[in-house]
Amino acid sequence: MKTKLVILCVLALATGSVSGAIVWTSAAADQDWDNGGNWAGGVVPAAGDIALLGSWGAGALGTNQPIVSSPAPGVPFQIGIGWPSSAGPTEMTVVAGGSLTADNVYLGWGQPGGVLHMEGGLLNVNTQISVGGNGGGSTGLIDMTGGVIDTPTLFIDNASNSVSGQVNLAGGTIYANLSVGANGRLDISGGTFVWEGSDFSGINGLNTWNNWIDAYGGTGTLVATYDGLNTTITAIPEPATMLLLGLGGLLIRRRRA
C-alpha cells in the first residue's frame, strides 16, 4: 500500500490570512525578482516575509512573471506561486546565475496553475516544497531542465482530493525526501534525483515505481544506487529511443565531415 508522509504545519495562508504579505505586481515590467518596483510597496521580499504570486486577484500574470537571475536577498518565510486568484496560472523562473532561499514554497495552493520553471541556478528551501495542495482543483508543476533544487521534503500532490502535482526532471539535480499523493508524479528524463537519507536502490531497473516515479513517462528504465547515505536516481530511455538518438548523432557527424 502506498504510504505518504504527513507533517503538521501552521500555515497562515492556508486559512486565507495574508496579513503582511508582499504581492508581485510587475509594475516595473522587467520581470526581475530583485527589483523592488515589481513588488507591492516597492520592497523585495526578505527574511520572514510572505511573497505571493497571483494572490487573490492582486498579482500580475501573463508575460510579466518573475525571473530570478541573480542572488536574491533575504529568506522569505513563504513563497506562494499560484494562490487563489481568478486570473489564471502563475509562473516563476530561475535561470543560470540566479539563487533564491526560502523557508517554504507552495505551487498551486487552492488555485490551478502554480508553475516553477527551473532552468539553472539554485533554489534552496529550508522546510518543504509543495507541488499542488489544499484542494479546490489545485494544480502544481515543476519543469526542470537545469540547476539545483535542495529541500528536506518535496511533496507532489500534498492533499487528498481535487489536487494534482507533476515534477518533470529533464536536467539538473533535486536533493530531497519525496512524498507523492494519488494524483502526483515525478518523471525523470535526464536529470538526477538524490533521495536523502534512505535506501531505495530496489527500484533499479524498473520503468515506474509505486505510481510515484516514472522513467521517461514509464517507457524508460530507472537507475538507482545507494551510497550508504542517499539514493541517487536517474533514468535511461528505452532501447528504441536510444537507437534513434544514436543514429541522429551519427548523421550529424557525417554531415559535419
Assess contact for 140 and 130: CB atoms under 8 A. yes
**Of residues 172 and 158, which shows the higher confidence score?**
172
Virtual torsion, Cα 237, 151, 30, 38, nearest 10 deg: 150
**Could you tell me the pLDDT band of residue 84, with boundaries at 50, 70 and 90?**
low
List of E strands, 119-229:
122-133, 138-158, 163-180, 184-188, 192-196, 208-209, 213-215, 221-226
pTM of the model: 0.85
| Annotated domain spans of the chain | 17-196
pLDDT of residue 194: 98
Q: What is the pLDDT of residues 183-220, one digit of tens each?
A: 999 999 999 999 999 999 999 999 999 999 999 999 99
Residue 171: band (very low, low, confident or very high) from pLDDT cuts 50, 70, 90? very high
